[in-house]
Amino acid sequence: MIETDHIVSDRLQVVPFGERHLTPSYVSWLNDADVVKFSEQRFHRHTLKSCREYWVSFAGTPNHFWAVELRHDGNTHIGNINAYVDPVHRVADVGIMIGDKSCWGQGYGSEAWTAVIRWLFNRAGMRKVTAGTLACNAGMLAVMEQAGMVEDGRRVRHLMVDGLEMDVVHKALFAPR
């Protein structure tokens, strides 16, 4: 895991995930059916131990695991972003979770997403950033579209959600040449 400077936007800072973020509140997000409704995490029960193991798995890799914090509210932890980096091809696959439901619908996901993508292009030297989500995840699709991402593939009827077959939509954004 490459240590980074804080990524700062108007209302947020995105910082390397650390021990202080490993809290019962964070674990509760991952066990909340609403928060993980469109995530494969919905099939797992999480504990402080499993969350610590996930965090530690980033050590010694080119990948990133960040906490999203409110800048003007005591740096309150509201969610996480990860980036799985392929340094050879300079591609990063990004995922986000705004776990604090009181922060939903306020544009924090888009703000953090855009700031991280900008950092991946400008500071980490990525040439392409990708992401995927279920076709029924309107919120995530909106975040990706607001960032300028375009469809980069689709896995048709790939996963099941509430008994229905669902496409997985892949989107991408390329660094300016």
Q: Is residue 161 part of a domain?
A: no
Q: Is residue 31 part of a domain?
A: yes
User: How far is it, in rounded angstroms, from Cα 157 to Cα 134?
Assistant: 10
Nearest to 41 by CA among 86, 82, 88, 70: 82
Whole-structure pTM value: 0.93
Q: Which two tokens stand for residue 130?
A: 């990708």
Q: Is residue 138 part of a domain?
A: no
User: How far is it, in rounded angstroms, from Cα 123 to Cα 72?
Assistant: 25
Q: Is residue 112 part of a domain?
A: yes
Q: What is the pLDDT of residues 104-121, one digit of tens each?
A: 999 999 999 999 999 999
Q: Is residue 143 part of a domain?
A: no
Q: Is residue 137 part of a domain?
A: no
Kindly tell me if the per-residue pLDDT of 164 is higher than 70.
yes
Number of domains composing the chain: 1
Q: Is residue 124 part of a domain?
A: yes
Show the domain range for 66.
7-128
pLDDT at 5: 65
Beta strands in the chain (DSSP E): 7-8, 12-16, 64-70, 76-86, 91-98, 128-134, 150-161, 164-174
Q: What is the CATH number of the domain that holds 78?
A: 3.40.630.30
Q: Which two tokens stand for residue 159?
A: 């996963």
Q: Is residue 140 part of a domain?
A: no
Q: Report the DSSP pairing between strands 76-86 and 64-70.
A: antiparallel
